[in-house]
Amino acid sequence: MFERRITRQISVGNVPVGGGSPVSVQSMTTTKTADVDGTLAQVYALAGAGADIVRITCNDVEAAQGLAEIVPRSPVPIVADIHFQHKLALAALEAGVAALRLNPGNIRNETHIKTVARAAKDRGVPIRVGVNGGSLDKDLLDKYGSATPEALVESALKEIRYLEDVDFTDIKISVKHSHVPSMVAAYRLLSDAVDYPLHLGVTEAGPLPGGIIKGTAGIGTLLNEGIGDTIRFSLTADPVEEAKTGRALLEYLGLRERKGLDLIACPSCGRAEVDVIDVARRAQAALEAENLPIQVAIMGCVVNGPGEAREADLGIAAGRGKGHMFIKGQVVRVVPEDEMVEALVDEARKLVEQGVEARLAAADANAEQLSRLVREQLVEIQGDANDAASKRARVAKVASN
């Protein structure tokens, strides 16, 4: 297990960031901030999908006025996204936001930056120094020739000095880039240079599925090195996908407790007794609607399925027109093949409500024996698809020579 780097801790509203606190998930609304009800609807959707913090643009006076109504009604802390106009940062503070995001590439006046920092300090509001490879300070572009990792980090350090000059240290930092290797390199450099909490992200990652792949490659790499305190997937998609993806990544890495479904499925093969892809698709849709925090396995055949997926909380495998349902590898019920998905959802509900031991105790006493007979029949009919016996013999022969 990787060891997380311990950073300073700040608080974005009631969400701690850094200092060993759980890695938080962020996303950003796509609505016009002046549309208070529309923006709040999206904030609630993001919170429901796993977002701990939501960023909202504050690009004009109407947006700042919208924030004044949104903030007290939001279920999660709101960060105001500020570009170019420092007075809008002051207006967002007046509106009551939990944090500010400033871009050093387009708010370059030192006096303006320090004015905002003083006002934020008076209110106990943290600031994210949000460096972006696509909007880097022109002087740094001229110096480095492009948005190199070194340029991103220098931009961040320069901005931090402005904040520290007025004794402002309630800071978190991001050095995002759309090029994954550059993003990873920048955060590694920054992590060695500061102990402020870091916000991870691959900027402008694009639409699905590529955007998720890029984000996972960059964010996942750094999290596995112990770097990162809060994350955002920047997708060209419904922002709910950002929250869901971010939350799922943290759960898969063991950095957050599972809140939703983790569905695993075999890749299918010639032995499969059902269309695994179709069953998995239907099961995922039905189980996600239930919002059950369990791991479920969909296996193509009963010959190897229960054994291969014995660590799953619940699973089902096909065989001879039946669905063989198992809990932690033990077959507990056999149902008609056309009822596999419905039976799986029903058992999932009961498993969450009653627990593993209770559901194992309620198992059909004949289910395991029936499944064993079906497995034996299928092996006799189909043979050993993996040719295991002869392969083992050949391996042993090579090893003993």
Kindly indicate the confidence band of residue 306, based on its pLDDT and cuts at 50, 70 and 90.
confident
**Does position 194 have pLDDT exceeding 60, yes or no?**
yes
Query: Which range has highest mean pLDDT (53-57, 298-302, 338-342, 396-400)?
Result: 53-57
Higher pLDDT, 53 or 292: 53
- Residue 289, CA distances (Å) to 259, 284, 285, 286, 342 in order: 13, 8, 6, 5, 13
Asked whether 299 and 283 are in contact (CB, 8 A), the reply is no
pLDDT of residue 384: 63
Least confident range from 84-98, 279-293, 345-359: namely 279-293
**Does position 275 have pLDDT exceeding 60, yes or no?**
yes
The mean per-residue pLDDT over the stretch 59-70 comes to 96
pLDDT of residue 310: 83
Kindly indicate the confidence band of residue 1, based on its pLDDT and cuts at 50, 70 and 90.
low
Asked whether 129 and 156 are in contact (CB, 8 A), the reply is yes
pLDDT digits (tens, 9 = 90+) for 333-373: 999 989 999 999 999 999 999 999 999 999 999 988 988 89
Residue spans of alpha helices (H) in 79-179: 86-95, 110-123, 138-144, 149-165
Higher pLDDT, 320 or 358: 358
pLDDT of residue 311: 82
Kindly indicate the confidence band of residue 398, based on its pLDDT and cuts at 50, 70 and 90.
confident
The mean per-residue pLDDT over the stretch 257-278 comes to 80
Asked whether 302 and 273 are in contact (CB, 8 A), the reply is yes
Structure token digits, residue 384:
């050993």
The mean per-residue pLDDT over the stretch 10-14 comes to 97
The mean per-residue pLDDT over the stretch 14-39 comes to 96
pLDDT of residue 159: 96
**pLDDT above 70 as % of the chain:** 97
**Does position 240 have pLDDT exceeding 80, yes or no?**
yes
Residue boundaries of the structural domains of the chain:
10-252, 262-382
pLDDT of residue 385: 59
Return the CATH number of 262-382, one of 3.10.20.30, 3.40.50.150, 3.30.413.10, 1.10.10.10.
3.30.413.10
**Does position 186 have pLDDT exceeding 90, yes or no?**
yes
pLDDT of residue 13: 97
The mean per-residue pLDDT over the stretch 323-333 comes to 92
Residue spans of alpha helices (H) in 32-77: 36-48, 61-70
Return the CATH number of 10-252, one of 3.20.20.20, 3.40.640.10, 3.40.50.300, 3.30.230.10.
3.20.20.20
Kindly indicate the confidence band of residue 208, based on its pLDDT and cuts at 50, 70 and 90.
very high
pLDDT of residue 144: 96
**pLDDT above 90 as % of the chain:** 73
pTM of the model: 0.83
**Does position 379 have pLDDT exceeding 90, yes or no?**
no
**What end-to-end distance do the CA atoms of the chain give, in Å?**
38
Q: Which amino acid is at 196?
A: Y
pLDDT digits (tens, 9 = 90+) for 95-111: 999 999 999 988 989 99
pLDDT mean across residues, the chain: 92
pLDDT of residue 157: 97
pLDDT of residue 78: 97
pLDDT of residue 192: 97
Structure token digits, residue 131:
């460096």
pLDDT of residue 72: 92
User: For residue 95, which of 120, 117, 118 has the smallest C-alpha distance?
Assistant: 120
Q: Could you list the beta-strand ranges (E) of 205-347.
A: 230-231, 262-265, 295-299, 314-319, 322-327, 330-336
pLDDT of residue 265: 86
Rg (CA), the chain: 26
